């Protein structure tokens, strides 16, 4: 664990307001210029069950949760039992004596302190419902961390004041009651100080960043069916429908969602859908339709553990092969796996350009860990972003071609054909799920079928030449050990690299965002700069490791897999890496 | 040159349906409606699924989208939402729309978007050689029901009435092109979702429900002066007639708000005309700070 990080965790039943408390905690820290990473864990139900929200706070970098907890807030008895083993040296546990009646909790941990805060009693005194215990515990937390009250006050005012001013006053009183109950009474050593002069930050999830990236890219149509971990994209975009001028459609099924996104894409509107593995299974047939009809569409595919319903609210990286091979026949697609909130924003933005330039489906392969974790980031810089609609012709350009039948699927060196949309004079054509000739008319001719397949797949060669960047190194050059990962592995690997540096271990991270087609030349070049490699991915079969081997012949030195629904921890990556040398 | 005529609606592809197929009548009905409508060729888009019906848009020189089996309506609805200026016609079969695509059929009607949905209803799957479709009568022997079908047939008109959202519900007959042409034109001009179920004889795989069968039974609802097209109960009741006589024409027609009228993004101009060159998202940041 980085010596500078402090980790706060709150636990309790669903319905205790755990998520809100966690988000406010992150925001208070981020407002003080600190870096935060927050991750909620919850079972698939609405009330009851054990929920946690964990926030890692650090003055320099925070991209992952850590194993050790410095401050644990237990809103029920179970939280202490379940998480005591995670406590750091000199940790503190905030609890509500009301949960324990005449008993007192006992800790086996040698140096941890119990901090009794009468959450229930204070809530009652302030005439609030029991659920407000979370807000009181928040105040107590900031007092223990010795964090300035003014920042807490500012965030609470903003958070609740947006809804109702009187709500802000009430919650301020609750927070202050918790703060005052604790301040100056305990010798808790893990203090957090604001970073002076730090830039303003947002606290945003991967899902929020994907939605923002899509809106910046001019996505005007989003169709989806709710499914964890992608449901928040639907909800967030639906809230922006009026202000951002969108059509957001909650459809009857994922089949409808995907076909609608394709219909809108065909009609010339940038369109997206989002789902998880089970919903994507229903979209698979239409994915091939977008492939053969050459319709631009963006699909957010958020992984969670399968097979079938699996573990609906937990994380996984086990759908890589599914996404690479989904749908019958052979057709081009682009698969991108952003690894953190920033990447979620920029990759999504570029996905819309790529979808239109290459006229194909682009899949954004993410997972619960990156989608539902909240990172502190500076507001996204959009000054360098440019919309590129590829070969979408203007009405004048279409007329200038002066064709009897518009050659929508014209054979070209790049594989990219001219495109027009319904409503444009002179561009009449049919987009078809059948194999077709240059004009879109059905063909079963052997030569034309072969040529159309070649044309479509040629788009990927063009993409690799013009738009693929290859994998990216993080950390020191020529390290003894290179962690290799894709997608959300980046979050944990970056933390691992930093901890390794503090411990004098020579380690770096090689991150892949471009999964399909794999930029082979750049991949080989990158591996030439590695010594021992450890491929870290959240599945059992080593799907990405095999994918790299299949494309390049490169074998990793070792691998580390988790497939129990939980994300990686930096500490365990380092432990596995050390086994290699 | 862009004004539709029966001649310039012709494409290079020729229909490959069986001689005498009811699809020819539907094709002519659609073409005539497009000519009567008079909007330029490029303003109409015909969306189809898979099956004999799915080939129809290959034979009409307007924009076309031939998608997946059963998924005609989601594509058509999205095209309409993307560009509400277009004349969107969806074409499907009874297997396509009332079988595999039933979910979309029911939900599309609930939304009442301004599109026209024409269903070739021949009680069989023709392209796969004659299996029974969801509208087939009980007891019919086909290649997938050698002992006779067991299911109660789908009644598309009653189903549309049950969805309580369809605002134009009609039935045509492929053997009466003049009447069909008027129905389709009426559907296109109707502001809202228009269903036109078309009795379409399959001359190869359905030897019972042939032209003679229908000609002996069909009568025009609009020639019955007692019939009220705003009476939902009456529509459902009449749709059940089959053995002795079969009603064609408009069963139900009312004006209701369309889905798109509730969406603020579509009020000024179609979605496809929104400028996306430099969208300012910075006002969104505050919510996260």
pLDDT tops 80 at residue A46: no
- The shortest C-alpha distance from A190 to chain B (Å) reads 25
How does pLDDT run across B184-197, given as a tens digit for each residue?
A: 999 999 999 999 99
Same domain (yes/no): A298, A153 = no
| Residue pair B242/B157 in contact by the 8 Å Cβ criterion | no
* CA–CA distances in Å: residue B30 to residues B35, B59, B186: 9, 11, 11
Residues 260 to 299 of A: which have CB under 8 A from any B CB? Answer: 260-264, 266-271, 285-286, 289, 293
pLDDT tops 70 at residue B92: yes
Mean pLDDT of A464-491: 98
Same domain (yes/no): A426, A485 = no
On whether residue A518 sits in a domain, the answer given is yes
| Residue pair A469/A368 in contact by the 8 Å Cβ criterion | no
Mean pLDDT of B102-113: 97
- The shortest C-alpha distance from B17 to chain A (Å) reads 15
Q: A235: domain CATH number?
A: 3.40.50.970
Res. A581 pLDDT band, cuts 50 70 90: confident
Task: Check if A256 contacts B (Cβ < 8 Å).
Answer: yes
CA–CA separation, B79 and B45 (whole Å): 9
Same domain (yes/no): A369, A433 = no
Res. B122 pLDDT band, cuts 50 70 90: very high
How does pLDDT run across A97-151, given as a tens digit for each residue?
A: 999 999 999 999 999 999 999 999 999 999 999 999 999 999 999 999 999 999 9
Same domain (yes/no): A75, A50 = yes
CA–CA separation, A257 and A251 (whole Å): 6
Residues 406 to 435 of A: which have CB under 8 A from any B CB? Answer: 421-434
Looking at residue A72, its pLDDT comes to 98
On whether residue A39 sits in a domain, the answer given is yes
Task: Check if A151 contacts B (Cβ < 8 Å).
Answer: no
Test the B interface: residue of A161, A245, A421 with most B CBs within 10 Å: A245
Final residue in a domain of this structure, among A174, A196, A218:
A196
Final residue in a domain of this structure, among A149, A171, A196:
A196
On whether residue A382 sits in a domain, the answer given is no
Q: Are B264 and A245 in contact (CB < 8 Å)?
A: yes
On whether residue A283 sits in a domain, the answer given is yes
| Residue pair B135/B153 in contact by the 8 Å Cβ criterion | yes
How does pLDDT run across B5-21, given as a tens digit for each residue?
A: 999 999 999 999 999 99
How does pLDDT run across A177-225, given as a tens digit for each residue?
A: 999 999 999 999 999 999 999 999 999 999 999 999 999 999 999 999 9
Looking at residue B2, its pLDDT comes to 87
The helix/strand/coil state of A223 is: strand
Task: Check if A155 contacts B (Cβ < 8 Å).
Answer: no
pLDDT tops 70 at residue A1: no
Burial zone of A503 (CB within 10 Å; 0-12 exposed, 13-18 middle, 19+ buried) = exposed
CA–CA separation, A92 and A107 (whole Å): 10
Size of interface A-B (CB pairs under 8 A): 197
Looking at residue A15, its pLDDT comes to 86
Looking at residue B1, its pLDDT comes to 56
Same domain (yes/no): A480, A455 = no
What CATH topology corresponds to B22-288? Rossmann fold (3.40.50)
Tell me how far the alpha carbon of residue B116 is from its chain's centroid: 6
Burial zone of A259 (CB within 10 Å; 0-12 exposed, 13-18 middle, 19+ buried) = buried
Give the structural domain span for A46: 6-196
Average pLDDT of every residue of chain A: 96
Among the partner-chain residues A243, A249, A268, the one whose CB lies closest to the CB of B83 is: A268
Q: Are A425 and B2 in contact (CB < 8 Å)?
A: yes
Same domain (yes/no): A461, A516 = no
Same domain (yes/no): A28, A177 = yes
Looking at residue A47, its pLDDT comes to 74
Res. A565 pLDDT band, cuts 50 70 90: very high
* CA–CA distances in Å: residue A167 to residues A21, A128, A178, A376, A379: 15, 11, 17, 25, 28
Test the B interface: residue of A38, A409, A423 with most B CBs within 10 Å: A423
Q: Are B66 and A433 in contact (CB < 8 Å)?
A: yes
CA–CA separation, A77 and A61 (whole Å): 32
Among the partner-chain residues A243, A259, A439, the one whose CB lies closest to the CB of B68 is: A259
Same domain (yes/no): A234, A361 = yes
Strands (E), A64-208: 69-74, 87-95, 113-116, 202-205
Q: Are A423 and B83 in contact (CB < 8 Å)?
A: yes
Q: Are A423 and B103 in contact (CB < 8 Å)?
A: no
| Residue pair A34/A376 in contact by the 8 Å Cβ criterion | yes
How does pLDDT run across A455-475, given as a tens digit for each residue?
A: 999 999 999 999 999 999 999
Res. B229 pLDDT band, cuts 50 70 90: very high
CA–CA separation, A517 and A523 (whole Å): 11
Same domain (yes/no): A28, A97 = yes
CA–CA separation, A195 and A31 (whole Å): 9
Res. A381 pLDDT band, cuts 50 70 90: very high
On whether residue A424 sits in a domain, the answer given is yes
Looking at residue B126, its pLDDT comes to 92
Contact residues on chain A for B55, CB-CB shorter than 8 A: 442
Looking at residue A48, its pLDDT comes to 75
pLDDT tops 60 at residue A504: yes
Burial zone of B6 (CB within 10 Å; 0-12 exposed, 13-18 middle, 19+ buried) = exposed
Same domain (yes/no): A210, A133 = no
Strands (E), A84-243: 87-95, 113-116, 202-205, 221-224
Contact residues on chain B for A424, CB-CB shorter than 8 A: 42
Name which residue leads in pLDDT, A486 or A44.
Answer: A486
Residue of chain A whose alpha carbon sits nearest to that of B268: A245
Integer-rounded Cα radius of gyration of chain A: 26
Residues 151 to 180 of B: which have CB under 8 A from any A CB? Answer: none
Q: Are A221 and B271 in contact (CB < 8 Å)?
A: yes
Q: A565: domain CATH number?
A: 3.40.50.920
Residue of chain B whose alpha carbon sits nearest to that of A425: B42
Which residues, 6+ apart, have CB-to-CB distance to B146 below 8 Å?
Answer: none
Same domain (yes/no): A291, A413 = no
Res. A162 pLDDT band, cuts 50 70 90: confident
Looking at residue A49, its pLDDT comes to 86
Domain count, chain A: 4
Mean pLDDT of A225-250: 98
Mean pLDDT of A162-176: 92
Domain ranges in chain B are: 22-288
Q: Are A433 and B50 in contact (CB < 8 Å)?
A: yes
Residues 385 to 404 of A: which have CB under 8 A from any B CB? Answer: 387
Same domain (yes/no): A351, A211 = yes
On whether residue A390 sits in a domain, the answer given is no
Residue of chain B whose alpha carbon sits nearest to that of A32: B289
Q: Are A423 and B43 in contact (CB < 8 Å)?
A: yes
Task: Specify the pTM.
Answer: 0.97
pLDDT tops 90 at residue A4: no
What percent of chain B stands above pLDDT 90?
Answer: 98
Looking at residue B205, its pLDDT comes to 96
- The shortest C-alpha distance from A334 to chain B (Å) reads 21
Final residue in a domain of this structure, among A419, A442, A466:
A466
Res. A2 pLDDT band, cuts 50 70 90: low
On whether residue A566 sits in a domain, the answer given is yes
Contact residues on chain B for A216, CB-CB shorter than 8 A: 279, 281
């Amino acid at each position: 664990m980085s010596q500078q990080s402090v980790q706060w965790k709150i636990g309790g039943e669903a319905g205790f307001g755990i998520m809100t408390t966690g988000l406010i905690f992150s925001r208070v820290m981020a407002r003080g210029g600190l870096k935060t990473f927050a991750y909620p864990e919850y079972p698939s139900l609405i009330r009851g069950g054990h929920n946690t929200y964990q926030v890692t706070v650090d003055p320099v970098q925070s991209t992952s949760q850590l194993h050790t907890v410095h401050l644990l807030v237990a809103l029920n008895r179970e939280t202490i039992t379940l998480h005591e083993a995670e406590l750091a040296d000199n940790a503190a546990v905030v609890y509500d004596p009301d949960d324990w009646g005449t008993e007192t909790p006992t800790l086996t941990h040698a140096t941890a302190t119990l901090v009794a805060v009468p959450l229930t009693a204070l809530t009652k005194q302030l005439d609030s419902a029991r659920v407000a215990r979370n807000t009181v515990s928040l105040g107590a937390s900031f007092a223990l961390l010795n964090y300035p009250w003014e920042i807490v006050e500012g965030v609470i005012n903003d958070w609740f004041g947006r809804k109702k001013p009187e709500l802000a006053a009430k919650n301020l009183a609750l927070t202050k009651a918790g703060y005052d109950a604790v301040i100056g009474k305990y010798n808790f050593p893990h203090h957090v100080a604001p970073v002076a002069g730090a830039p303003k930050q947002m606290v945003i999830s991967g899902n929020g960043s994907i939605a923002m990236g899509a809106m910046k890219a001019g996505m005007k149509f989003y169709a989806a069916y709710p499914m964890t971990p992608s449901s928040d994209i639907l909800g967030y975009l639906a809230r922006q429908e009026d202000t951002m001028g969108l059509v957001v459609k909650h459809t009857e099924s994922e089949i409808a969602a995907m076909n609608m996104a394709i219909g809108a894409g065909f009609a010339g509107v940038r369109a997206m859908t989002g789902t998880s593995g089970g919903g994507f299974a229903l979209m698979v047939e239409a994915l091939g339709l977008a492939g053969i009809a050459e319709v631009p569409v963006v699909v957010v595919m958020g992984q969670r553990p399968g097979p079938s319903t699996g573990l609906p609210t937990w994380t996984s990286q086990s759908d890589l092969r599914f996404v690479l091979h989904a749908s019958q026949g052979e057709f081009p697609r682009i698969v991108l796996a952003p690894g953190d909130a920033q990447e979620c924003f920029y990759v999504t933005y570029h996905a819309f350009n790529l979808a239109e330039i290459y006229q194909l489906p682009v899949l954004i392969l993410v997972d619960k860990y990156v989608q539902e974790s909240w990172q502190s980031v500076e507001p996204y810089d959009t000054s360098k972003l440019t919309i590129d609609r590829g070969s979408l012709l203007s009405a004048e350009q279409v007329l200038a071609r002066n064709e009897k039948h518009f050659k929508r699927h014209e054979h070209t060196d790049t594989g990219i054909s001219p495109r027009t949309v319904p409503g444009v004079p002179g561009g009449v054509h049919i987009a078809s799920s059948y194999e077709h000739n240059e004009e879109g008319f059905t063909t079963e001719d052997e030569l034309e079928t072969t040529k159309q397949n070649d044309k479509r797949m040629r788009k990927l060669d063009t993409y690799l030449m013009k738009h693929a960047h290859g994998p990216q190194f993080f950390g020191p050059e020529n390290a003894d050990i290179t962690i290799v990962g894709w997608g959300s592995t980046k979050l944990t690997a970056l933390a691992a690299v930093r901890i390794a540096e503090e411990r004098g271990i020579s380690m770096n991270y090689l991150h892949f965002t471009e999964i399909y087609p794999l930029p082979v030349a750049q991949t080989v070049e990158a591996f030439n700069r590695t010594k021992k490699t450890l491929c870290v991915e959240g599945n059992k079969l080593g799907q990405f490791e095999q994918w790299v081997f299949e494309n390049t012949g490169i074998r990793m030195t070792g691998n580390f897999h988790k497939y129990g629904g939980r994300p990686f921890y930096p500490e365990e990556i380092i432990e596995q890496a050390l086994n290699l040398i | 040159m862009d004004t539709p005529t029966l001649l310039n609606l012709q494409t290079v592809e020729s229909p490959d349906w069986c001689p005498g197929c009811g699809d020819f009548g539907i094709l002519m009905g659609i073409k005539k409606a497009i000519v009567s409508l008079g909007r330029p060729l490029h303003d109409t888009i015909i969306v189809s699924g898979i099956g004999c019906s799915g080939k129809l848009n290959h034979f009409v020189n307007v924009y076309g989208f031939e998608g997946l089996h059963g998924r005609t309506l989601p594509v058509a609805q999205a095209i309409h939402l993307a560009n509400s200026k277009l004349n969107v016609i969806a074409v499907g079969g009874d297997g396509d729309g009332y079988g595999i695509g039933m979910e979309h059929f029911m939900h599309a009607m609930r939304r009442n978007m301004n599109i026209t949905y024409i269903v070739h209803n021949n009680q069989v799957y023709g392209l796969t050689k004659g299996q029974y479709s969801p509208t087939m009568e009980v007891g019919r022997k086909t290649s997938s029901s050698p002992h006779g079908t067991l299911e109660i047939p789908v009644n598309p008109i009653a189903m549309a009435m049950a969805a309580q959202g369809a605002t134009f519900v009609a039935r045509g007959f492929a053997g009466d092109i003049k009447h069909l042409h008027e129905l389709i034109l009426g559907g296109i001009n109707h502001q809202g979702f228009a269903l036109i179920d078309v009795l379409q004889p399959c001359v190869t795989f359905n030897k019972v429900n042939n032209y003679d069968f229908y000609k002996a039974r069909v009568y025009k609802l609009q020639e019955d002066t007692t019939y009220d097209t705003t009476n939902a109960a009456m529509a459902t009741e009449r749709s059940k007639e089959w053995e002795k006589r079969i009603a064609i024409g408009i069963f139900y027609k009312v004006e209701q708000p369309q889905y798109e009228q509730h969406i603020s993004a579509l009020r000024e101009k179609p979605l496809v005309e929104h400028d996306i060159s430099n969208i300012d998202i910075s006002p969104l940041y505050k919510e996260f700070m």
